[in-house]
A and B are shown apart, each in its own frame.
Chain A
Amino acid sequence: MQIIWDGIREAMRLIFGGDADVLQITLRSLWVSGLALLIAVLIGVPVGSLIALRHFRGRRLVVTTINTGMAAPPVVVGLLVALFLTRNGPLGQFRLLYSTWAMVIAQVIIAFPIVAGLSLAALQQLDLGLRQQIAALGAGRFQTFVAQLREIRIALLAAVMAAFGAVISEVGAVIMVGGNIKGQTQVLTGAIVQETRIGRFAIAIALAVILMALAFGTNLALTLIQQKDRHSA
C-alpha cells in the first residue's frame, strides 16, 4: 500500500512541479491522439453519412466491415500498419515506421470506424420525414446534409468521445509502430508500460494519473457541451 501512496505523492510532485519529461510525453500524447482524432472525424463523418444516406450494392458488407473495425484490437491495427510501413513493405519508401506519423496513422485507423460507425447509426435513426421536410423547406443537397448533422450533433459528440477514449488509452499499436522511443515517440501509455517494467512505479503512477485526468477532462468538456445541447434541444 505504501508504494501506491509514494507513487501518488511523486505523481503530484511531477505534475505540479512541471517535470519536463512528463510534460513532453503528455503533449506528444495529445498531439498524436488529437491529430488522429481530427483526421478520423474529417473522414469518418462524411463516409458514415454517405453510407447512411445512400443505397448501393454491397452496403451491408461495408457497414459490417465498419462495425467490425470498431472492435478491432489495436495490436492487430499496429501489426498491419507496421507491415505496410516496414522497409520492405508497400509504403516502406516513406520511412515512417517508428515515427509519430506512424502512430497517427495507426490511431486514425482505430478511430475512423468508431466515428464512421456511430455517425452512420445516428443518421440512420433520423426520421426520413425530417430529411424530406428539410428538403421541402428549400434546402439544397449540402444544406440538407449539414442540417442533418446538426440534428445528430449530440450523437456525433458521443462518437468523438468514444474515439478519443479509444486512441488516448491504446498502447498496442503506438508501441508497435512508434517503437516507444523515449524523447521521440513515447506517449503516456507506452511510458507507463516502460516505467512499470523497470520498477519506477512513482513515475508510472504519475503518468497514469495524467492519462486519467486527460481522459476525464476531455470527456467532461464534451459531456458538458453535449448535455447543455440536449437540454436546449
Chain B
Amino acid sequence: MSASATPVMVAHDLSVVRGGRTLVHVERFEVRSGLVHVLLGPNGAGKSTLLKALNGLEQANGTLEFEGRPVQGAAARLALRRRTAAVAQKPYLLSRSVLDNAASGLRYRGVGRREARAVATGALDMLGVSHLASRKPGRLSGGEAQRVSIARALACDPAILFLDEPIAALDPPTRRSLVDDLLQILDSRGIAAVWVTHDRDEALAVGDGVTFIERGEVVQTGPAMDVFSRPATESFAAFLGLDTYLEGTVVAGPGGDLRFVLGDGQELSCGEAPLGHAVACIPPEDVVLLTTAPEHTMSLRNVLHGEVREVRPDGRLLRVHVAADGLEIAALVTKAAFEELGLSIGSPVAAAFKAAALHPIPRHERAEQAP
C-alpha cells in the first residue's frame, strides 16, 4: 500500500450541525484508494456521525468531493451511496435469504435479479459463507451474519467501504479471522476503507492512517505508527493507555541531544520534541524491568531505580507500577517475565527505557497562550 495513493474522497471544512450544535468538524480528511483510514476516539466523539456524513447518509456543511466531483444535494448523496458501501456494528440483515441479502445492494442499484445473485454468490464465497446462501438470517451466528453483511457490501464493488465498528460485537477468535480476511480482500482489490473504532489495538491492527477524534474535533491525524507513538495531546495519550506522565521542560543537551528536565532537576533523555514546557508520556510496553545492572542495554538511555509498588492484570499481561527516584513508571510485562525476575510488591527493580520512548507533549495552556 502506498501513501501516495490517489484520493478518492476529500472533505474540506466538513461539519455536521444538529439543533444548532456542531456534532463533528474536520478541516480536511482524505480517503485514498487501497488504504484503511481509521477514525479513532472515545464513545460519543462524533466518529460515526462523521462516517455517515462521508457516506452521504448525513447532511453536512462544507465541501465533500468524491472522485473529483462535489457531493451536493440529496441526488448526489444517493449517487455517492451507490458507488460506496457500508457495514455497521450490527449486521442488519433483511428478513430474506442470505443470498438475497448479499444481492440486495446490487438490486437497489438497478442490477437484474439473476446477475445480482451471481455476483452476490461470488462475494459470499470470498467471505467463506457461500454454503449459507439459502439460510435465513435468524439461523446465522454473529460472525456468520457479519460476514454476510460484509459480502453484501463488497458485492457492490465499492470505491470506498465504510465500516462502523464492524467487529465490536464479535468474540476475539471470530474478530481475528474476519479482520484477516477483510484486510486481505481490501488490499487485493485496492478498495479504500474508512473504519470507525474506539479500540486502539484494533486501530493499530487495521489502520494505515489514523485520525483521532475527540468531542467532535480532530485531535491528530497521520500514519498509524506515528500517531500511536507520538500522541499530540494528554487526553489522546490517556486514551492510548499511556499512564506514565511526567511534567518538565525539554531542553537541548550539551551534545545536541534532547533532555527532559523534571521539576526536581532530574534529567532524562527524550525523543524529538519542541523545546519548552511539556508533559512526557512513556508507553508501558516500551519500559523494561531489570533486577540486575544492564549489560547489553546501551540503547536504554534512561534507567530509574526503585521498587515495585503495584501489580495489576492488563489483558494477558501484567501492568507493573514502579516507584523510582520520586517518579511512578508503568511497565507491561508477561507473567512469565515477572515470575522469572522474582518480583513482588516492594521488590527492588530498575525501570529502563529508550530516549525515543519518552515522548514529550508540548503544553499549550490557555494561560500561556494569552497575550
Contact = CB atoms under 8 A, between A and B. Distances in A.
Interface string A133-175: 1111111100100010011000000000000000000000000
Contact of A233 (B92, B95, B104): B95
B138 A136 contact: no
A132 interface: yes
A135 to B, nearest CB: 6
B283 interface: no
Given A129-B90, A233-B138, A137 B78 contact: no
B12 interface: no
A137 B104 CA distance: 8
A130 interface: yes
Most B Cβ at <10 Å: residue of A138, A151, A233: A138
B52 A143 contact: no
Given A129-B90, A133-B86, A133-B88, A138 B81 contact: yes
Nearest to A231: B136
B81 A136 contact: yes
Contacts of B105: 137-138
Interface residues of B, number: 25
Interface residues of A, number: 18
Nearest to B55: A136
B305 interface: no
Interface in B57-84: 57, 78, 81-82
A127 interface: yes
A232 B81 contact: no
A138 B82 contact: yes
A139 B82 CA distance: 8
B94 A150 contact: yes
B136 A233 contact: yes
Contacts of A143: 108
A138 B156 contact: yes
Interface in A91-127: 127
A150 B95 contact: yes
Given A138-B108, A150-B96, A233-B138, 11 more contacts: A129-B90, A132-B57, A135-B57, A136-B86, A137-B152, A138-B81, A143-B108, A147-B94, A151-B95, A233-B95, A233-B136
17 contacts: A127-B90, A130-B94, A132-B52, A133-B86, A135-B81, A136-B81, A137-B81, A137-B105, A137-B152, A137-B153, A138-B82, A138-B85, A138-B105, A143-B108, A147-B94, A233-B95, A233-B138
